[in-house]
Amino acid sequence: MRVVKQEEALVPSGLQESFDRLRAHRWELARTGARERLARLDTLKALILERREALADALHQDLRKPAAEVEATEVLPVLLELAHVRRHLKGWMKPRRVAAPLLLAGTVSEVHREPKGVVLVLAPWNSPFPLLMSPVVAAVAAGNAVLCKPSEKTPHTSRFLAELVRDAFPPEEVTLVEGGPEVGEALLRLPFDHFFFTGGTRVGQRVMAAAARHLAGVTLELGGKSPAIVDATADVETAAERIIWGKFLNGGQTCVAPDHVFVHASREEALLDAMKAALERFYGKTEEARRMSPDLCRLVDDAAFTRVRTLLDQGVAAGARVATGGVADAEARYLAPTLLTDVTPNSPVMGEEILGPVLPVLRFESLDEVVSEVREGGKPLALYVFSQDEQTVQRLLQETSAGGTVINNVALHAANPNLPFGGIGRSGVGAYHGETGFLTFSHERAVVRQGRTTFLHLFFPPYRGKAQKLARLASKMFE
């Protein structure tokens, strides 16, 4: 008979039943091979392909996201992940033979990757499809039972995801629950074997505390103020186009978007001109054309609109200047793509991750200033360096820390399943994508097989004479 802990007693019965059903099935899942796991993922892939238009419609209702952007930033990342898992899962699951020291002669040492058990995936609103499905794919590939929850801020996409998961997986293998923060808080009371959360730092701290209470693993993807750095040697036209694309994708509501730009004073005017030109090419030549553009997302809800508009207003009040944009329509949750100049590091707009279509531009004279500001701002999820000077690139790699870095482009590291994707410090704990995701949801179990030959008995007590000399001799081998 299982003893119910006090905090579990506070969990609504429906959530508790879902968790118990998953836990009852987790050992059966642990025994599955690559073929069975891939069959489930193949079903998921077929349903995604069949329902991609319904997904695009849901995301348009929630964020007014253009269909092409849905394909490129929501569907494609999950398809890439599924294809990568299909190619490599069998190899990832094989026990890995490792060498053993001479003292363990006669043994065979292996690393076995086993599922952690029942895992929780809490997804955000800004990229609601891949940021739920990609970790679910990794967790299923690793043989876990999964309980997942999408954000209530994107209700149409949440409903789509609920139907997709229901039709792709048996409920004893993967269950999706919907609801607001109270559901998320209730889930944190359950003793999952791993907690995977994507979102803000404040909630991430609560997730980490919950994982600590349960002595469980935790992965936190938290974002942060990711800078782009444009030095005096950069190709300004190219830098401008790529920064504008990465920043205003999804209405600026992307965790790997450039949050702000440091530009060398000698290139500031040229960069601003090139960024304005890129905005006109992408979204329209006039403010009215940009407001009517079908290619610009809207802020997710009224609270998000108010928060970003307030940051913009506070920045201007503190001395920043709107170089272009600044137009707002609260009813439509529209904020024009905005470039802010004359921004200083202590400006209110630099106090938190913007997650909206406002791009502060800060000039610098010396790279020392940039290094200092990046360090002071914490460890960002991403760092983007635009430079033709390899010494500058190496210095920024060696003297700053970030979850990932791209040279002369933005966001591309998130698209390569062979690379780990994750933050460090305030931008996150742990990583996923590809084999890294498989390992995130796996425990690497050490297994040693003893053969007939062994020298271990020479070290058995009593510790006198030969045993003592052999122990000292063994130590000397490694001095």
Q: Which residues contact 130 (CB under 8 A, 6 or more apart)?
A: 73, 74, 77, 78, 81
C-beta neighbour count of 51 within 10 angstroms? 16
- Per the structure block, which two tokens stand in for 150? 């999408």
Whose CA is closest to 432, among 225, 135, 217?
A: 135
Cα-Cα-Cα-Cα dihedral sign, residues 13, 14, 20, 23: negative
- Structural contact between residues 218 and 211, judged by C-beta atoms closer than 8 angstroms: yes
Q: Alpha-carbon distance 412 to 216, whole Å?
A: 31
- Structural contact between residues 263 and 271, judged by C-beta atoms closer than 8 angstroms: yes
Q: Alpha-carbon distance 393 to 403, whole Å?
A: 16
- Encoded amino acid at 266, one letter: S
Q: Alpha-carbon distance 20 to 42, whole Å?
A: 26
3-class DSSP assignment, residue 28: helix
- Show which residues are catalytic: 221, 255
Calculate the CA 291 to chain-centre distance: 30
Whose CA is closest to 166, among 152, 186, 150?
A: 150
DSSP state of 75: I
Q: Alpha-carbon distance 26 to 38, whole Å?
A: 17
Whose CA is closest to 125, among 67, 51, 68, 178?
A: 178
Q: Alpha-carbon distance 38 to 84, whole Å?
A: 11
Q: Alpha-carbon distance 408 to 388, whole Å?
A: 8
